[in-house]
Amino acid sequence: MGERQEVKLLGTWYSPVVARAKIALRLKSVDYDYFEEDLFGSKSELLLKSNPVHKKVPVLIHNNKPILESLNIVEYIDETWNASGPSILPSHPRDRSQARFWSAFVDDKWFPTLIATTITKSKNAKAKGMEEVGEGLLLLEDAFISISKGKRFLVVK
């Protein structure tokens, strides 16, 4: 066997992007230590040292080297532990680019709209936001159908 892999994940329990990294680690059966961060209080020295620019989670630390941003982390996990578990990203470059596009759509457009809609006090803004959220879900559903090419998109055991 090779050297022991030291894997740490810095995150928060409520973050969907941290959940994305946790799911990728579990799919690849990677043992890791999890460190809960308090983003609204005193951030840990490990977080500040590992992500000094943005000071946010998730941060994956593999053998003392940090990997930042959830989509980068998923891709790193998929490539680093490519012999374990199922492939997370498609093998064809075009298919991978589509997966990246839809992930960015969720992160940059759909999820922020959902959050803004849930916290607004204005009934008009809430109605407009829910309409946009619904339209986004329809786009995602069409994308999943197209990308899956007739195969099951999510495999639940």
> Is the pLDDT reported for residue 155 higher than 80?
no
Domain map (residue ranges) of the chain:
7-80, 93-148
Measured over the CA atoms of residue 44, residue 48, residue 51 and residue 55, the dihedral's sign is positive
The reported pLDDT for the residue numbered 154 is 56
Query: Does the structure show a pLDDT above 80 at 156?
Result: no
CB 58 within 8 A of CB 73: yes
Amino acid at 8: K
Token readout for 87 is 């492939």
User: How many Å apart are CA 78 and CA 24, to the nearest integer?
Assistant: 8
What per-residue confidence (pLDDT) applies to 5?
85
Fold that domain 7-80 belongs to in CATH = Glutaredoxin (3.40.30)
| DSSP state letters, 17-64 | HHHHHHHHHHHTT---EEEE--TTS---HHHHHH-TTT--S-EEEETT
Q: For residues 156 and 100, which has the higher predicted lDDT (pLDDT)?
A: 100
Q: Which residues pair with 68 in a beta bridge?
A: 59
pLDDT digits (tens, 9 = 90+) for 1-41: 455 689 999 999 999 999 999 999 999 999 999 999 999 98
**pLDDT given for residue 101 in this prediction:** 93
Average confidence score pLDDT of the chain: 91
| pLDDT-based confidence at residue 147 (cuts at 50, 70, 90) | confident
CA distance 111 to 104: 10
- In this prediction, residue 1 carries a pLDDT of 44
86 has pLDDT over 90: no
- Is the model's pLDDT at 157 over the cut of 80? no
Give the DSSP H/E element, type plus range, for residue 78: helix 70-80
Can you tell me the distance from the alpha carbon of 114 to that of 130, in angstroms, rounded to the nearest whole number? 7
Tens of pLDDT, residues 35-80 = 999 999 899 999 999 999 999 999 999 999 999 999 999 999 999 9
